[in-house]
Each structure stands twice: as C-alpha cells, then as structure tokens.
C-alpha cells in the first residue's frame, strides 16, 4: 500500500503555491506538469492543440520555472505532490486529466495513486521508469541501469560540467528555453534527480492508479529504461503509444500523439461521467 505522506496542517497552510503559467480555455480540465530542469515551455507544441476543446492548466514544478524554491525543500516525490495538491486545490480544477512529462510523469503518477477521486485519466509522456539494478534479471539491462545511476551521480557531483553542457543542449533544442540547469535551480535539480528520479516508486504508483493511463514515448528516447517500461506496458489499465523516431523532447509529432491521447480519454471519461 502506498502511504500518502502529508505535511502537518500548520506547515501545509504556510506553503507557497506553485506558479500557474497558463489557465485558459473551456471544457474538460487538463493539467500539464513538466519535467526536471524545465518549465511549462515543455508543452509549447501541445497547448495549442488542447486549447480549443479543453481548460488547460500548466504549472511550474517546485524549484523550476517561476515557482518558489524554498530553502528547506528536499524535493522528494512527496513534496512535489504536496505542492501540486495545494496548487490544484486553489484553482478548483475538480476531477482532471493529468499530463506529466519525464519527472512530471512520476509526480502525477504518485498524485493519481494517492488522490484517486481527483483524477479522470493520466497521460504519462516519456516517463523514466527506473528500478534498482538488481531487480533486472537480464544482465545487459542490469548493467544499463547501473550506468544510468552512475551518470546521474556524476552530473550531481560535477556542477560546472553539468551547467555548461546543459546550456549547450538548451541552445540545440528545437524548443527555446526548454532546458535550464543553472545556479538558480541547481539545488532543485540535484535533489529532484536524487530523491524523485534515481529513487522512485513509479511502478507501484502506476499499478495503484485506478484511472485509465495513456503511455506516450519516443522510440529513440535516451533517458528511458526498456525493462521498466515493459512492466508498465503490461498493466491492464495502460494504453501504449510509441512515437517512431521520437526522443525526449515533445516535438510537434509527439505533441499530436499526446493531444490525441488526451482527447480520447476526455471523450471516454465524460461519456461515462
């Protein structure tokens, strides 16, 4: 059973809200949650496809974009969910469709697992579903998972290298300002990487979700672990959409798949609900 870790009421009531970059449109509510070292810019290609028929809410994660960066934040998955919960409550979104990208997909999966009454459907885009290396029976996958974790540890331990190379990747990205690792968000980046990606419970969270789940990912995404994805793909409530040639960035082609997935679950859920 997944425990819903909550802050003491006195502390929760003083937490700042996350930055809501967009709250526009009418129709079924779709909440967009970006990944690590990014912002709502992640969904640049998705938002125009959703706005004609949906209320679109796009939120910056704790420590990223224009959201607050509390000095005492640990950037655990529980903390990210707690801030998301309070922010959504302040917007009165009701039952919504949650779309998460990368780290955002792990956060919305935990939110959906612990707030079943608030979620109509879940769309997970490019989720880095990781398991401990010794959980893999295949020695190749076990080695690959170990290499991912060592690479992330290297990034966290080499600040100058990481910031410099993130800036290069940002300039090469097809979406302007989609990636930021800087002095400003360094703490949020390293702690979110360590406490919410490297250490995670995504498989059990997704298994515990009662709402329908749409899984979208590119076949050339370098951050995905095939062994973890296979476990999720076999779950009965999960529908899979593979984007041939797609990588980790939500380019127009992947954006169309995401928008179609949202529209399909919105139509189904609202016929039922």
pLDDT beneath 50, residues of the chain: 1-11, 273
pTM, full prediction = 0.93
Q: How many residues does the chain have?
A: 273
Please state, in angstroms and rounded to a whole number, the distance separating the CA atoms of residues 16 and 70: 9
Beta strands across the sheet bearing 20-24: 20-24, 55-59, 29-33, 96-101, 119-125, 213-218, 238-243
Please state, in angstroms and rounded to a whole number, the distance separating the CA atoms of residues 116 and 95: 9
Please state, in angstroms and rounded to a whole number, the distance separating the CA atoms of residues 12 and 27: 30
Q: Give per-residue burial for 103-125: e unless 16+ CB within 10 Å, then b.
A: bbbbbbbbbbbbbeebbbbbbbb
Q: Which two tokens stand for residue 195?
A: 């406490």
* pLDDT confidence of residue 8: 41
Any bridge partners for residue 24, and if so which? 56
Domain covering 9-272, topology: Rossmann fold (3.40.50)
Q: Which two tokens stand for residue 255?
A: 């954006």
Over the stretch 183-224, which tens digit does the pLDDT of each residue have?
999 999 999 999 999 999 999 999 999 999 999 999 999 999
Contact 181, 90 (CB under 8 A): no
Domain segments of the chain as ranges: 9-272
Task: Indicate the helix (H) or strand (E) that contains 147.
Answer: helix 139-157
Q: Give per-residue burial for 63-101: e unless 16+ CB within 10 Å, then b.
A: bbbebeebeebebbbbbbbbbbbbbbeebebebbbbbbb
Please state, in angstroms and rounded to a whole number, the distance separating the CA atoms of residues 96 and 119: 5
């Amino acid at each position: 059973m997944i425990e819903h870790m909550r802050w003491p009421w006195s502390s929760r009531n003083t937490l700042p809200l996350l930055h809501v970059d967009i709250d526009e449109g009418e129709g079924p509510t779709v909440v967009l949650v970006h990944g690590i070292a990014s912002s709502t810019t992640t969904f640049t290609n998705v938002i125009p496809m959703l706005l004609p028929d949906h209320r679109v809410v796009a939120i910056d994660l704790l420590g990223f974009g224009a959201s607050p960066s509390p000095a005492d934040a640990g950037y655990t998955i529980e903390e990210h969910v707690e801030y998301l919960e309070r922010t959504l409550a302040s917007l009165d979104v009701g039952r919504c469709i949650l779309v998460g990208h990368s780290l955002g997909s792990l956060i919305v999966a935990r939110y959906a697992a612990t707030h079943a009454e608030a979620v109509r459907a879940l769309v997970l885009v490019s989720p880095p579903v990781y398991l401990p290396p010794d959980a893999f029976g295949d020695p190749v996958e076990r080695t690959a998972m170990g290499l991912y974790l060592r690479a992330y540890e290297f990034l966290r331990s080499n600040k100058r290298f990481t910031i410099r190379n993130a800036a290069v990747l940002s300039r090469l990205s097809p979406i302007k300002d989609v990636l930021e690792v800087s002095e400003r968000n360094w703490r949020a980046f390293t702690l979110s990487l360590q406490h919410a990606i490297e250490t995670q419970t995504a498989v059990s969270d997704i298994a515990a979700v009662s709402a329908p789940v749409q899984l979208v990912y590119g076949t050339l995404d370098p951050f995905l672990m095939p062994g973890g994805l296979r476990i999720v793909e076999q779950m009965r409530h999960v529908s899979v959409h593979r984007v041939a040639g797609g990588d980790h960035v939500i380019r127009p082609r992947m954006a169309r798949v995401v928008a179609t997935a949202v529209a399909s679950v919105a139509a189904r859920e609202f016929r039922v609900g």
